[in-house]
């Protein structure tokens, strides 16, 4: 108990950038002190593995907010063009709208099709590392960002070089998704409108000249027959582009940082590259790209002996659940041979990440390629810099010193 008293922050720190660099002591303190905790903001925070896993599959919890509440925060904020756009993201929908849209999109993400992309992903990883010269490398901008954004662009059917213009919009949307501040949503409105215009033109082009890509699938008449509006088609395109690279970018860069900080684990993976599958599962557990996920109570519900009223936002802290010692022994230790399984990084239930296999393959290829081709891979003199977002956890910069084979 003394250890808990020493590290325990003000419990409200879980909503503060004060814990940005290392949120896990705060997660542990809250889990030990009050695992079903009512925050000052009005949200209920869950930090135990079993509780977080339960809300992901229990149909008494929903994604769409009750009337009068904002979908991203307990407090109501003014509605913006950004809010209108994300209302058309499947991740914020409940059935039947979610079911219809997910069914349409999921036909593209079948395992056979995604596995067949592995050679292309490998070629892109090699191409990006070919451009690196001995000396300095910035992992995020040189490798972890361009790889997944080029992959999802190929799936959508977008011109390869267009990804260069996507990053600013993606960064601003990530910040707006993380924030309850109206100004953060307003700040990305012009970027959102530009992206909508961009995808509107792409959809119109597919209707004139059908193509076998994901935008072509969304542009089909069947999408309209299923009750999927043009606004939802546009929102889905933007969501797939954002989600298809943002979390994978963060997974790749944070995994490489974890290996840099654990050289014994890096050496073990170099010696046994075939263990990359289990290694990626450990990276997903150790630094979950999505740290929090929200659900709204549809009725009064008992959670861990506490009564949570109807129409309340419950936040499952995935980053805390994946470091719960009751599920994962010695949870703060990186162990690429860990076989506990069951990390919640990609969620569970109806909203289980549709691109989970793609993200896993991209990370597997990216990490093994770096270790194979860069025999010298060491932290640079600068301190790694984390994004100033608490829901989506990722590095802004990771400078390293490299030497190619």
DSSP notation for 201-260? HHHHHHHHS--SSHHHHHHSHHHHHTT--HHHHHHHHHHHHHHHHHHHHHHHHHHHHHHH
Residue-wise pLDDT tens digits, 157-211 = 999 888 878 888 888 888 888 877 788 888 888 888 999 999 999 999 998 999 9
Q: Do 82 and 3 have their domain in common?
A: no
Q: Do 146 and 213 have their domain in common?
A: yes
Q: Do 310 and 369 have their domain in common?
A: yes
Backbone conformation region of residue 43, classed left if phi is above 0, alpha if psi is from -120 to 50, else beta:
beta
Q: Do 211 and 262 have their domain in common?
A: yes
Q: Do 98 and 169 have their domain in common?
A: yes
Q: What is the DSSP letter of 309?
A: P
pLDDT less than 70: residues of the chain = 1-12, 74-78, 221-226, 381
Task: End-to-end CA distance of the chain: give it in Å, rounded.
Answer: 50
Res 91: pLDDT: 94
Domain harbouring 296, CATH code: 1.10.630.10
Q: Do 186 and 276 have their domain in common?
A: yes
Res 167: pLDDT: 84
**DSSP per-residue string spanning 72-137:** S-SS-----HHHHHHTTSGGG--TTHHHHHHHHHHTT--HHHHHTTHHHHHHHHHHHHHTPPSEEE
Residues 6+ apart with CB under 8 A from 54: 303
Domains identified in the chain, total number: 2
CA distances from 216 to 213, 354, 368 (A): 5, 18, 33
Please tell me the chain's helix, strand, coil percentages from 3-state DSSP, rounded to the nearest 5. 55, 10, 35
Residue-wise pLDDT tens digits, 240-253 = 999 999 999 999 99
Q: Do 297 and 174 have their domain in common?
A: yes
Q: What is the DSSP letter of 398?
A: -
Q: Do 7 and 153 have their domain in common?
A: no
Q: Do 198 and 296 have their domain in common?
A: yes
Q: Do 12 and 151 have their domain in common?
A: no
Q: Do 82 and 151 have their domain in common?
A: yes
Q: Which domain holds residue 30?
A: 1-17+24-34
Q: Which two three-digit tokens encode residue 257?
A: 């940082």
Res 363: pLDDT: 98
Res 223: pLDDT: 60
Q: Do 95 and 29 have their domain in common?
A: no
Res 11: pLDDT: 57
């Amino acid at each position: 108990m003394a250890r808990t008293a020493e590290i325990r922050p003000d419990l409200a720190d879980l909503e503060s950038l004060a814990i940005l660099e290392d949120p896990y002591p705060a997660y542990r303190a809250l889990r030990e002190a009050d695992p079903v905790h009512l925050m000052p903001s009005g949200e209920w925070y869950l930090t135990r593995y079993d509780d977080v896993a339960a809300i992901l599959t229990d149909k008494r919890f929903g994604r769409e907010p009750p009337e009068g509440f904002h979908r991203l925060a307990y407090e109501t904020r003014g509605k913006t063009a950004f809010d209108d756009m994300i209302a058309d993201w499947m991740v914020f929908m409940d059935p039947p709208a979610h079911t219809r849209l997910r069914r349409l999109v999921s036909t593209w993400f079948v395992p056979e099709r995604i596995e067949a992309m592995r050679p292309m992903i490998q070629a892109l990883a090699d191409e990006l590392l070919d451009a690196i010269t001995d000396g300095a490398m910035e992992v995020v901008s040189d490798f972890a960002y361009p790889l997944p954004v080029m992959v999802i662009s190929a799936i959508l059917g977008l011109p390869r070089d267009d990804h260069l213009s996507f990053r600013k919009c993606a960064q601003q949307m990530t910040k707006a998704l993380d924030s309850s501040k109206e100004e953060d949503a307003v700040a990305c409105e012009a970027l959102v409108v530009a992206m909508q215009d961009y995808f509107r033109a792409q959809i119109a082009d597919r209707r004139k000249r059908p193509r076998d890509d994901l935008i072509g699938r969304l542009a089909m008449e069947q999408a309209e027959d299923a009750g999927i509006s043009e606004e939802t088609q546009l929102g889905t395109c933007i969501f797939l582009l954002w989600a298809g690279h943002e979390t994978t970018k963060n997974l790749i860069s944070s995994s490489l940082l974890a290996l840099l900080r654990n050289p014994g684990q890096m050496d073990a993976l170099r010696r046994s590259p075939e263990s990359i599958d289990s290694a990626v599962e450990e990276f997903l557990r150790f630094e979950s790209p999505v740290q929090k996920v929200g659900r709204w109570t549809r009725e009064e519900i008992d959670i861990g002996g506490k009564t949570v009223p109807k129409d309340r936002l419950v936040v499952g802290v995935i980053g805390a659940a994946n470091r719960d010692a009751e599920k994962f022994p010695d949870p703060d230790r990186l162990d690429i041979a860990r076989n506990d399984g069951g990390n919640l990084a990609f969620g569970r239930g109806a909203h289980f990440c549709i691109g989970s296999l793609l993200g896993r393959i991209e990370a597997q290829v990216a990490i093994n390629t770096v270790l194979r081709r860069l025999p010298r891979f060491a932290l640079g003199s600068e301190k790694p810099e984390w994004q100033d977002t608490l829901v989506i956890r990722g590095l802004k910069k990771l400078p390293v010193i490299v030497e190619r084979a």
